[in-house]
A and B are shown apart, each in its own frame.
Chain A
Amino acid sequence: MTSIQRLLYFLTLHRTGLAVCMVSLGALLFPVLDDNPYTLGLSHLVAINTLVVLGLNLFIGYAGQISLGHATFFGLGAYGSAIISTTWAVSPWLSLILVALCVALLALVIGIPVLRLSGHYLAMATLGLNFVVYTILIQWDEVTGGPSGFAGIPALSCADFVFDTPVRQHYLLWAFALGAMLLMLNLVRSGVGRGLAAVAGDEIAASSLGVNTQAAKVKIFVLSAVLASLAGSLFAHSFGYISPDTFGIFASTDFVIMVVVGGMGSIWGAAFGAAFLTLLPEWMDIFDTYKDLVHGGILVLVLMFLPQGLVTGLMDMLKIRWALRRHNASA
């Protein structure tokens, strides 16, 4: 082996780890290059959306099920953490964990009966749940603040170190997002993850090979709900203000669009989709008027021409191109 071959081998072998290192380095250096609070605010949103989309992507891509209600878990995380830490004056970290546990329980209660069925009942059940929670957030205004929102949520802190400046929040949020990403990357390569991939590929084949398909689906649903709740709590504690409109059914479809654009089942795609759709309004002036058309159009075009998503789809195209070129060169 020449040294170049050895280097290429090393790069291929450790491609995932190297990519994670590169992204982490990018996140680490970003505030040094650009500490404009507005840009940092956008990067916060990207990190938070990535956290939600990572979980949802795992559920859609690996369990082969549809959830159109992840904004519910996101919203419950945000409101739950806000109410517990502000109204009851509990420490933000503790409230974050408490809410995540409650959301896990809720996801379990819904997931166990609904995921037992074949067919896409969960899509409607979660959509219905989203509607119910949204109504409660608006109607129960003595607790949630109603349509005008909930303000004055305390920031997270470690001992005396308070995450109250945009730069500090940047590191906090990206630490969570990258941590979740690392967890996902390892999970899909573990035995559990391989079992899930089998479920997505062919449920009957997977169950005949000894994968407990129902339990696997429920576990992933709960995991994705917990990630969404965590993202919601972080959102509430870093922005300090939340309102019900962030957690409506249209927010849920936005999360789904992020998953589809990135590629169902692709973890890097999830991060890409979250970043792409969060930053899209920044690049388009006419976005406000045509938001629905742009979002719907992107979803339809991606599904029609690259159903594997932009990241996986383009990668596959490149791989095929390379393989053909190698074949032609050798022939």
Chain B
Amino acid sequence: MSRQLWLASQDTKLQDGFFVHTDFLQFILSGLTTGSIYALIALGFCVVSNTMGIVNFIQVDFVTLGGMFMFTSLFTLGLPALPALVLAVAAVALVAMVLERIGLRPARSANHLVLIFLTVGLSIILRGLIKLVWGTNRMALPPLSSDVPVQILGASVLPQALWIFGLTMLAIAVLTWFFHRTSLGLCMRAVAVNPTAAAVVGIASGRIRLTSYAIAGALGGLAGVLVTPITTLNYDVGVLLGLKGFAAAILGGFGSFPGAILGGLGLGLVESVSAGYLSSAYKDVVAFVLLLLVLCVRPKGLLGR
């Protein structure tokens, strides 16, 4: 390229600078929005993995279930948005606890292969039930508040995105408080560090497993409630989101809570920027290519121990 051409191209770049900047900001913001969702799901994976040492495939359906319960409590029960959200999240947590109690605990097997396949089986059953109850049609959920975009630094942001940021922050704050200030949370951390030693000092493993499923269910449900107004609601909407949440958990270092948050946000950013500048048709592929790359280069993840 000749020098003049180069200068000319720089010139147009400078003129476009403002737009380039807002575009970029737009991508960053939308990346952080989806990233928060991935972070919530990734945290759910980590909680169960830390206490039981298994990959919990039901997490995927907790996300769908969150959206479905939100739909029911908004339209069938006619609740306002915030109580409906609380009800939906609580309901998913309850379902998760029931599943752990009647679906996983009776197995009493220490073989991880058996337990992981059990979660796969329970996930298939749950998806079948969701199909039976809510049908296979696509449904739309209204956002939590108005859908008029807000302008931030020249980029337009949906109020739903602000809800997502806010409630993700809140969830992280509550989790931090729970794991550092309550005795149940401290017990769960003890089990994560050393299950045998925790059992020796008398921490009941059943209660810990039940709590970890409740937390995983609540996090997955919250992610589902928050994200389905942006996507649509379908019986398998959680599958892809859940898989990406898992990719985020590995990206950050599987089992590490700060890692899950960082991995989620990072994955969201990479995905949105690559969709913006490369191609949006293969946007979903990016997450898994990134996952494979991370597993090759740094299998412990960004913050793994």
- A→B interface (CB under 8 Å): 60, 64, 66, 68, 110, 113-114, 116-117, 119-121, 123-125, 127-129, 131-132, 135-136, 139, 249, 253, 256-257, 260, 264, 289-293, 295-300, 303-304, 307
Contacts and interface: CB of A to CB of B under 8 A. Distances in A.
A131 B117 contact: no
B247 A128 contact: yes
Contacts, number: 116
Contact of B112 (A120, A297, A299): A120
B284 A264 contact: no
B296 interface: yes
Interface of B: 54-55, 103, 106-107, 109, 111-114, 116-118, 120-129, 131-132, 239-240, 243, 246-247, 250, 254, 281-282, 284-285, 287-289, 291-292, 295-296, 299
A64 B112 CA distance: 10
Contacts of B120: 68, 253, 256, 299
Given A114-B292, A292-B124, A295-B124, 20 more contacts: A113-B296, A113-B299, A117-B295, A120-B55, A120-B112, A121-B250, A125-B295, A131-B284, A135-B285, A253-B124, A289-B132, A290-B132, A292-B125, A293-B128, A296-B126, A297-B121, A298-B121, A300-B103, A300-B118, A307-B114
B299 A64 contact: no
Contacts of B107: 303-304, 307
Given A291-B128, A303-B107, A128 B122 contact: no
A297 B284 contact: no
A300 B125 contact: yes
Main secondary structure of the interface of A (DSSP, over half): helix
B123 A128 contact: no
B95 to A, nearest CB: 15
Contacts of A131: 240, 243, 284, 288
A132 B289 contact: yes
6 contacts: A116-B299, A121-B295, A136-B285, A290-B132, A297-B121, A299-B118
A120 B124 contact: no
Contacts of B292: 110, 113-114, 125, 128-129
A292 to B, nearest CB: 3
